[in-house]
Amino acid sequence: DAGVIQSPRHEVTEMGQEVTLRCKPISGHDYLFWYRQTMMRGLELLIYFNNNVPIDDSGMPEDRFSAKMPNASFSTLKIQPSEPRDSAVYFCASRARDTEAFFGQGTRLTVV
């Protein structure tokens, strides 16, 4: 398996634009997590899914953020409209019930 695949690796966008981050989890993993990494707060959990169903979205900072998992092999994190303070590295991770979490390489988002 190629591991957790995230796209794009880098995204630069202007304030107010919509941004969509994509994630393909490891096949057979039934949990999917979206994290955001910043210097001040480290790795923060934004939302996680179990069997494609959102379980806990309490970490989603604002209504501008939304996440979907239409099927077991794909998830998106959308920010609309984007703001400079959203600039961070966003990680997707997946796991099976009896494994640790495996992370993707991340998407570095810069909002100017």
Applying CB under 8 A, which residues contact other proteins? 4, 31, 33, 35, 39-45, 48, 50, 55-56, 91, 93, 100-106
Minimum distance, C-beta of residue 102 to other proteins, in the bound complex (Å): 8
Taking the least distance from each CB to other proteins, the nearer of 33 and 65 is: 33
DSSP 76-98: EEEESS--GGG-EEEEEEEE-TT
**Closer residue to other proteins, CB minimum distance, 93 or 111:** 93
Minimum Å distance from CB 101 to other proteins?
7
Closest separation in Å from C-beta 20 to other proteins: 19
Q: b/e string for 61-100 if b means 16 or more Cβ within 10 A? A: eeeebebebeebeebebebeebeeebbbebbbbbbeeeee
Nearer to other proteins, 81 or 87 (CB): 87
**Which three-class secondary structure state does DSSP give residue 16?**
coil
